[in-house]
Structure 1
Amino acid sequence: MPMTLDARVDLDRFWSTIEASAAVGKGRPGGLSRLTLGDDDRKMRDLFREWCVEAGLTIEVDAAGNIFGRRAGTDNSLPPILIGSHLDTQINGGRFDGIAGVLAGLEVVRCLNDLGHTTRRPIVVVDWTNEEGARFSPPMVASGCFVGKYDIDWVHDLISDDGARFGDELDRIGYKGDRPCKAGEIDAYFELHIEQGPILDAENREVGIVTGGYPVRGMRASFKGQTAHTGPTPMDLRRNALAAGARWLTAVDDIGWDFAVHDGKATAARLTAWPNKPGILSDTAEAVCDVRHPDPITTRAMTEKMRRALFESAARCGCEAVIEDEWEWGGDIFDHELIDGLRAQAVRMDFNWRDIQSQAGHDAYFLATHCPTAMIFTPCKDGITHNNHESCEPADFVAGLNILLHAVVARADR
């Protein structure tokens, strides 16, 4: 049966899945702390799989723990449409970040079941592992592996702060799948996500059509110094790796302020050190920083300042510095034809929409390197996110869900 233009999702059913998710892995009041590959992540994965099976989807899990729920099309030889995001959260996370995108994909296929409509191409709903990077660094690691950015053995060998190994935790919770973590041919990828910024809420917009992402450059660096007694050791003989890392972080924060007038941002995200105890100087440290700006040339300039500050900070403290990892994403990465299709659906259904850029990282960034990709943003109150006070109402998802439904079907039926 063909899907009519007035078809709409079941908002109450979608919201019921949001509420059920919010009961798994509770953190601070109102929020979640559902870290990747922990026991609560397993519980949520199990629940998601139950919902997928009830919706008639065929489940596959790959070697990185990514979950794929496949709805057959009338021509299963054609490349599928993927809809996805993530179910893991930050350590002080909200109820919607990533979660809304996975459950939006589930609602699309449930709606198609209600309508009795089988699309020409298969549709696959995806939960990507470790998007947040809150337990295993870097973020978006499993979607990156899926498109060939990372090797699966490297992913399995990642170690968390609690000493757990990624591959061992996959085994422990039963989610190291048999399917290779490797993308085949994909017709298109769609991701719905809360904005994680204040623009849509401030402008009272119902939905944002994502045109691209702020160019982002990040670094993880290590510092090597020497332990010594904090009392008698003269200042000119100290090699304090903790101080070197701290100097770099504050220097990067200053770079952000230097470019803030044009919406540049720099983040001093993380600092660890050993022994990190009173009475002794730390001989090793590791820090993570990133910079971003809407203009890619300016982002490159900020990156070079960040790089120079790294070695200056190390030298100031008599330490050695090594860049252990670098990454970049963002820019004009999303498919213009898909973007036009989302705009057309927003106009046809008379939603109050606007074009918008993403300022955060998403699995869609990696998928965009492999197949045509597009994102939809829905409003969140005051743009608060990565926080237990992250807040949305059911009405905030009406436009995004229905645009997603019709855009996916239009693409899948062509």
Structure 2
Amino acid sequence: MIERNPRYDGLHVFKLDLNAMQPGDVILTRNAEAARAKGKMTSDLIAFVSRGNYSHALMCTVPPTLIEATGDGVTNLNAQNCFIHDLKHIRVLRYSDPAIARAAASAAMLFFAKGYSVPHAIASVLPDAPRFRPKDGGIFCSALVAAAFRTAGAPEFAAVNPMRVTPAWLQKSPHFHDVTDDLCQRILSPSNIEEMNALDGIRMPSPMAGQSALFRSYFGRLSVPIDELMAAHPTLTEHRPTNFFECLQFISALCVAASWLPDGEEEREVKRKAKVIDALALELLSEGKLQAMEDAAEARDEESIQYTLSESFKPNPDINLDDTVGMIRATRAQIISRSSILNDPKRPPGHSMVWDEWERHTRRSLAYFERRLSALTEALDRAFPAAPKA
């Protein structure tokens, strides 16, 4: 337990209403509460140079999950563990077309584990420096949002280069409307606030903090043999994977396709290379680092769930009704999302070693989400028996 800062005694802060969040919601923030002067100065400079009020952008994928591009790459953040010191430091924007917003949220998830680009981020706020053309393949916060909406077919993003989109551009876009007051609730600072993430200040270390870098390393290992395969057999496929998750799908499809090839010399070579790539991917996924991260994250989450369960027996439980309802709905959405990769008739059991391992990993995660859903539902029914069912 981190020692509580006396500053928060009796202080009211703001938190996002998980029950009201929607996929595709865009959150703009400013690092006004940075622990170091350099962080605050950098944030202020970005906002000033880009002629806006904010320096960072996040996006809701499946509530309560937020996705963002930081120095560690494209990572996820749990909105349940976040707060804001002052509403001046945040804006929550909602796109005008809900269907496109949902599609953008799905598109954003494909960027997970992509590297961060400092040069591109600098270039985005220097419109008068045409000679500065970064060549790295990374992305930055507001470009991630713009790329997701462009992929989703948002018409006003069609002619926009995502790498030139700043938080200020998103703030001023007429295609988003401000829902900050609807989503930000004023609350008395929680007892565990020192363990939470300030969207306008200090971020706390997360057990999953290294996940993005881990997946980038996996992708780097797999991209070498995949590129060699595609170069040797250019008619095999035109789509090159761009991240680890696309590698899993590529390998799965490759193994299925290879099993149907005739028994010629070139076909045997493709089958051999497919097995080598499949085995390498299995080795990476089975090494235990990802599982260790998820075990630590689940253990931390379990502490919160057990606290909610114990409080639910008390006459005046320390349970936020809206938060609990939001977490129940979010957990159901996560279960649906993760279940979608299972029992795919195009990917029969045994066709790919790494895909079988990924499905096993997914089933384990689903079992945890089911337990969390059961515990939260039990606590809600006991603490708020008259409340509408989530």
Same fold (TM over 0.5): no
More helix by share: 2
Higher relative contact order (CA 8 A, sep 6+): 1
More strand by share: 1
Normalized against structure 1, the TM-score is what? Answer: 0.24
